[in-house]
């Protein structure tokens, strides 16, 4: 299909996103195509590793196709988006548990669904332009696509901070937080790709990797840990920049995300984290702030979403419990 270039080159199964004008946003069909390729290559002895990359300089993948989510949600077609998430989350788990090495080269923006596509790979390569983030609370969603699993394993309270504020991580911060594990200058990526395809050996990445420099997040670790050790988002007292970022978020999504990340911290498998995420997203598309958040930030771009709750403190604890409760017959398979 035109949004993906899937092929075998040498020893590598290659998946290239080809929607640069749309910042390589992930559609439902793209997710299904990626999963089909992974299924086909698992038993193919000619494929030693899988390499996921993307065309364009601006983005590896800026997230899911939220315009489609808004279109379906605003018309009451909630099941279309739920089906997308069910298939996407299955693909996210597939990448993390894949029996062959998966390599992701992530330039530019890798956000939301892009994190789910690239940051569960065994070998996560970033470059100078990389900016990784989970900005879902700004549109009334929660960190999904397995994002809660990554956030829960970040050092200290970075998961709570990154999962709510949506702060963008450069290469050094992405490695510090566990969203990436190697920095390779982007001028070397063409050579890296050729050598991976020729040899099928992901050890080449370590040979070409360089020091990404100091992480600003690491320097702020102690303060972030103190700021986000509180029970609720309503209790956070941080620096002016952080408080300004928090003021833009959906109160419901933020309080829900805080709880979600902490509950996932006790889990050992990504599948269990995805199940909790799906309970939240399944409900948010119909009952939460998601449709309104996308309208304000992406469709009309007036940046004035009308959230259901005026503040974090207005979100009842019982409502957070309800969003995380089992769905019943609608659970993620």
Q: Which domains does the chain have, with CATH numbers?
A: 1-333 (3.90.226.10)
Question: Choosing from 65, 88, 136, 292, which is the catalytic residue?
Answer: 136
Number of residues that this document lists for the chain: 333
Return d(Cα 62, Cα 132) in angstroms, integer: 9
Q: What is the pLDDT of residue 331?
A: 74
Question: Choosing from 144, 167, 275, 277, which is the catalytic residue?
Answer: 144
Contacts of 53 (CB under 8 A, 6+ apart): 14, 15, 16, 17, 60, 104, 105, 189, 193
- The verdict on whether 136 is a catalytic residue reads yes
In terms of Cβ atoms closer than 10 Å to its own Cβ (0-12, 13-18, 19+), residue 223 is middle
- The verdict on whether 64 is a catalytic residue reads yes
Question: Choosing from 31, 63, 113, 127, which is the catalytic residue?
Answer: 113
Beta bridge partners of 109: 59, 131
Closest CA to 282 of 256, 313, 303, 249: 256
pLDDT in tens, the chain (333 residues): 479 999 999 999 999 999 999 999 999 999 999 999 999 999 999 999 999 999 999 999 999 888 899 999 999 999 999 999 999 999 999 999 999 999 999 999 999 999 999 999 999 999 999 999 999 999 999 999 999 999 999 999 999 999 999 999 999 999 999 999 999 999 999 999 999 999 999 999 999 999 999 999 999 999 999 999 999 999 999 999 999 999 999 999 999 999 999 999 999 999 999 999 999 999 999 999 999 999 999 999 999 999 999 999 999 999 999 999 998 776 777
Q: What is the pLDDT of residue 328?
A: 79
Closest CA to 233 of 150, 174, 294, 317: 317
Q: What is the pLDDT of residue 65?
A: 86
């Amino acid at each position: 299909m035109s949004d993906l270039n899937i092929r075998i080159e040498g020893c590598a199964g290659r998946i290239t996103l080809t929607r640069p004008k749309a910042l390589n946003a992930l559609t439902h069909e793209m997710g299904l195509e990626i999963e089909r390729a992974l299924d086909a290559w698992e038993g193919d002895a000619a494929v030693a590793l899988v390499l996921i990359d993307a065309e364009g300089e601006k983005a590896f993948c800026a997230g899911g196709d939220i315009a489609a989510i808004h279109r379906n949600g605003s018309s009451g077609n909630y099941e279309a988006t739920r089906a997308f998430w069910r298939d996407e989350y299955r693909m996210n788990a597939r990448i993390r548990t894949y029996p062959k090495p998966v390599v992701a080269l992530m330039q530019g923006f890798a956000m939301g669904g892009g994190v789910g596509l690239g940051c569960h790979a065994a070998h996560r390569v970033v470059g100078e332009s990389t900016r990784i983030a989970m900005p879902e609370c700004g549109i009334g969603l929660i960190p999904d696509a397995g994002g809660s699993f990554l956030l829960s394993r970040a050092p200290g309270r970075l998961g709570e901070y990154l999962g709510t504020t949506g702060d963008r991580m450069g290469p050094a911060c992405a490695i510090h937080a566990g969203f990436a594990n190697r920095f390779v200058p982007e001028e070397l990526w063409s050579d890296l790709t050729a050598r991976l395809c020729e040899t099928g050996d992901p050890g080449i990445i370590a040979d070409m990797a360089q020091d990404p420099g100091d992480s600003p997040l690491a320097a702020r670790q102690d303060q972030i840990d103190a700021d986000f050790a509180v029970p609720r988002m309503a209790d956070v007292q941080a620096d002016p920049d952080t408080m300004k970022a928090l003021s833009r978020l959906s109160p419901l999504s933020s309080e829900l995300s805080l709880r979600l990340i902490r509950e996932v911290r006790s889990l050992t498998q990504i599948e269990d984290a995805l199940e909790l995420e799906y309970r939240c997203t399944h409900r948010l598309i119909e009952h939460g702030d998601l449709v309104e958040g996308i309208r304000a930030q992406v469709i009309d771009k007036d940046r004035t979403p009308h959230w259901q709750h005026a503040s974090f403190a207005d979100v009842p604890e019982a409502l957070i419990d309800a969003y995380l409760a089992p769905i019943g017959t609608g659970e993620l398979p």
